[in-house]
Amino acid sequence: MIASRQNSFLAVATLGVYLGLILAGATPSVLAQAATAKQFSVKDEVVTQEDLDADPKVPAARKALETYLSETEAFITGLAELASSPGLLDGEHQYVTAVDYGCGSRVYTYGSDPKYTGSPRLQPEFADFAIRLSRGRELVPCRSIPAEGEGAGRRTVWTRIGLDQKYFWIELEAVRPSSDEARLFSDALGKIRRLQQSSVNTAIRTQLLRSLKFMPNDHHVRVELTLPRGSLDTLLASNAK
C-alpha cells in the first residue's frame, strides 16, 4: 500500500515536470533526461508518516530537531529586538565553543575558553544561544561519552555561530555512540525535516527547514544551517517589535 502511494506520487510529479518542459519548448532529448532525473530526485525526497513510524531513531531525532528549531527561532527573535540599535548587527560576529555536559545539570567548558569576535554587546547573546542550542538531551545522549576514564558520563557538543554582511550560519557537531549510529540519526533528522517542510506555516521555520543540512562525520552528527544575510534581515524586519 505504501509503495503504491509513493509510485502514484512519483508518476504525478514526473508527469508535471514533463508537461512543463513541453510547454517551454524543450527538445525530446532534454525531456527524456529531465524526466528521468526528476524521478530519482523526487523519490529521494519523498517521506511519508509510515517512513517515520518505521524508523526507531525518529522519536529522539524529532525532539532534537524541535529543540534546535525552537532555540534558533528564539535567537532570531532576540536579534530582531536588537536590530533597532543602529549598526549593532553590522560587521562580523563569530562565537566558537566546545562544551561537555554531565548527565546531571553541571556544565563543563571543554578545552580552551570560548572564542568570540564582534560587538561585546552581542557576546552574551551568542554565548547563551550556543549553550541552549546544544542542550538537547536527544541530540547527545549521555551514553555517547565513555562510561569510564576521562570524560566519563559527559556529553560533548562543538558549536560555531557566525553573522556577517553575507550570511548567518550555525555549525554544530555532536558526539554519538558510534559511526553507524551517527549515520542513522542523521538520516532520521533528514526525514523529519523533509516531512515538516510541507506543513510549517511560519516564515522563520520555513527558512530554517529549507536551509538545514544533516550529515554523519565519523561518530558525530554534523548540523549545518546557512541563511543569506538578506533572508535573515527579512525575518528580523518581520519580527521587529
89-106 as b/e, with b when 16 or more CB fall inside 10 Å?
beeebebbbbbbbeeeee
pLDDT tens for 11-44 read 444 444 444 444 445 455 544 554 444 443 444 4
Residue whose entry in the numeric block shows the C-alpha cell 557537531: 173
The arithmetic mean of pLDDT across residues 100-108, rounded, is 58
Q: What is the pTM of this model?
A: 0.73
Three-state secondary structure string covering the chain: CHHHHHHHHHHHHHHHHHHHHHHCCCCHHHHHHHHHHHHHHHHHHCCCHHHHHCCCCHHHHHHHHHHHHHHHHHHHHHHHHHCCCCCCCCCCEEEEEEEEEECCCCEEECCCCCEEECCCCCHHHHHHHHHHHCCCCCCCCHHHCCCCCCCCCEEEEEEEEEECCCEEEEEEEEECCCHHHHHHHHHHHHHHHHHHHCCCCCHHHHHHHHHEEEEEECCEEEEEEEEEHHHHHHHHHHHCC
The distance between the two most distant Cα atoms of the chain, rounded to a whole number of Å, is 67
pLDDT tens for 43-86 read 445 667 677 677 778 888 899 999 999 999 999 999 998 888 88
- The pLDDT of residue 107 is 53
